[in-house]
A and B are shown apart, each in its own frame.
Chain A
C-alpha cells in the first residue's frame, strides 16, 4: 500500500487545535501544521519542542562582547596607546567607561545578526528557496494539519479521515508521496 499524506483544512485556529487534540488522543501522530499566523498552544499538542534560538542569541552576544573587548584592547591600548592631552592609554581598565558604548553596540550587533542568520538557516528560508507549504491558502486564511500514514502504521487512511470528519474540518485532501 502506497503511503498517503492527509491534509485536513480548517478555517479557524481553535478548530484546528481541537482537531489536532482529537488525533493525538487517538494515538495518531500529527506531522505538522501550516497556518498564516502563529497558532498559540499548538506546540505542546503536536509535540513541537521549544526552540533554542534565544540561547544562541545569548551566545552570539557574549562572543560580540569578547571580540569588542579584545579588539579595543588591541587597537587602543596594546598596538597604539593613543595619547590624548598627555594622557596615553596604558591600561584597559582605566579606560573602561569610554569603551562601554562600542562594546555594547557590538554585543547587540552580533546577538541580533547571529540569531537572525541562524533563524533563516534553521527554517530553511533563504533567498531563492521554493515555497514548500502544501497549499497556497495556508498563507491566506486556511489552517492545515498534515498527517502521514507512514508515521501511523496502526491506522488506515480511512480511519484517520473518518476521525477528522468528526471535527469541524473544512475539507480533507489526500495525496500520495
Chain B
C-alpha cells in the first residue's frame, strides 16, 4: 500500500471510518435543508429572476439598451464573458491538472470546483449569445448546411475558435464531472429509503455496480480525460485572449496575452473556489475534509498565479514604452493616468499587491482573511478585463471620436443577474449532489487520514 510521509499534514481530520465519510457527505442530502439554505436560495433566485428579466428586455428591445457607443462597442458584456470563463478555469484545473500531478488534496474540492466551472461557463456563454442581438440566430455560429450561398463560418476567425473552444470545454467538463459523480450517486441510491428519492438517484447513478473491471475502466477514463482536458484548459483561455491579441488595437495587440490570460483565469478561478468553499465547509460541516491545509494550498496557487499576472502587467507596460510605438505607449499611459485611472489602479492593487500578503503563513491559513481576499481578487480580475477592453477602445486613433463608457441599468442588471443564476445553480448543487467526491476520499482515508497516519507514525517509533 502506498504510504505518505508522516510530516505531511493529514487531508482528512478526526477519527473517520469509510462509513463516516458516507454519512458526513450524504447526510445533508437526506436531511431537511437548514433555513439558511432557503434564505440564500430565495435571495439568489430573486436576483436571477431580475437578471432574466433584463435579458428578456434586452432581447426584446435590442443592444441599444446597453451603454455601448460607436467607439466603445465592446464593454461589460465581453468583460463579464471573460470574467466568467476565467472563473470557470479552476474546476478543470483542479480535477485534471492536479490529477496528472497526483495531488491528493484535490479530492476534497474537485467536485464542487467542477460544478462551479460548469455553472460559470454557462454564465459566460450567455454573453456572446445575447450580444448577437438576434439570439434566435445563435446557431449560425456552427457550420451548418444552408441556402445562403452556401455560406460557411470563418475558420480563420478567433471568434469562431472561441465557439469551438468554449463548447468543447463546457461539454468535456460536464462529462468529466458526471463520470466522477456516478459512483457517488450509487452510494446515495443504496442508502436512501424513500422510494421517490431512491428512484431519482437510481436513474442518476446509471446502475453503477462498482465491480473490479468497472473501477479499472473508471480510473482509465479519469486519467485519459484528465490528459485531454489539461491542454484543453490552457487552450480555452488562450483562444479567449486571441479574440483581442489577433486584432491591431493598441493595448490588445500583444503576444503575451495567452499565458497572461491563462494565469489570470486560474487566479480568479481559485479565488471563486475559496469564496464558495469557505462558506460551504462551515454550513455543511465539512471542516474535517476541506481543511485549513486545503485552503492554504489554494492560497499558494493564488500567490503563484497572481505573481505571474503581476509580471505580465509590468511586462506589458515596459514593452509599450520599449517598442517605441506611440499608439501602444499612449494606450498604456492612458490606462494608468487617463480618465479610467481608478479602474487601472484598482486592478493593480487587487491583483498584484494584495495577493503578496499571502506570503505570511498566518494569513494564508486565516479563513476570514482568505474569504476577504477571495472577494478582492475577483473584483480585481473583473477590473482587469474592464481595463483591457474599455480603456483600449475608448480613445481610438481619432480624438474627435473619443468617448467614455457609461453602463445602463440593463448592463448592471444582466451582470448581477448572472451572479444570481450562478449562485442559484450552485446552491441547488450543494443541496442535492454529493459536494465532495466521497468515494475518492475513501481511497485516501488510510493513507492521508489523521488517525491512520498517527497510528503508522506511532508504530514506526517502536
Instruction: Report the minimal beta-carbon distance from A44 to chain B, rounded to whole angstroms.
Output: 11
Interface size on B, residues (CB 8 A): 69
Residue of B nearest to A120 (CB): B206
A134 to chain B: closest CB distance in Å? 9
User: Is A130 a contact of B202 with CB atoms below 8 Å?
Assistant: yes
User: Contact between A106 and B1 (Cβ–Cβ < 8 Å)?
Assistant: no
* Residues of B close to A36: CB separation below 8 A: 18, 22, 183, 187, 210, 439, 442
| Contact (A140, B18) CB under 8 Å given A129-B206, A132-B207 | yes
Q: B residues within 8 A CB of A6?
A: none
Task: Please measure, in the bound complex, the distance between the C-alpha atom of A37 and the C-alpha atom of B191, giving whole angstroms.
Answer: 16
Q: Would A125 and B442 count as touching, CB distance under 8 A?
A: no
**Any B CB within 8 A of the CB of A86:** no
B165 in contact with A48 (CB, 8 Å)? no
User: Does B54 have its Cβ within 8 Å of any Cβ on chain A?
Assistant: no
Q: Most A CB atoms within 10 A — which of B22, B215, B220, B439?
A: B215
Contact status A33-B235, CB under 8 Å: no
Does A27 sit at the interface, judged by CB under 8 A? no
What number of residue pairs across chains A and B have CB atoms under 8 A from each other?
209
Cβ contact within 8 Å between B207 and A141: no
Minimum Cβ distance to chain B for residue A135 (Å): 9
Residue of A nearest to B215 (CB): A38
Count A interface residues, CB 8 Å: 65
> Does A82 sit at the interface, judged by CB under 8 A?
yes
Cα of A53 to Cα of B161 in the assembled complex, Å = 29
8 A–B contacts from the bound complex (CB under 8 Å): A48-B213, A54-B223, A105-B164, A109-B168, A112-B168, A116-B175, A116-B225, A133-B190
- Counting from the closest, the 6 A-B pairs by CB-CB distance are A129-B207, A141-B18, A136-B190, A75-B152, A125-B206, A38-B215
Residues on B facing A (Cβ under 8 Å)? 1-2, 17-19, 22, 143, 149-156, 158, 160-161, 164-165, 167-168, 171-172, 175-176, 179, 182-183, 186-187, 189-191, 202-221, 223-225, 228-229, 231-232, 235, 239, 242, 439-440, 442-443, 446
Give A contacts to B, CB under 8 Å: 12, 14, 32-40, 42-43, 46, 48, 50-51, 53-54, 57, 61, 71-72, 75-76, 79-80, 82, 84, 89, 95, 98-99, 101-102, 104-106, 108-109, 111-113, 115-116, 119-120, 122-133, 136-141
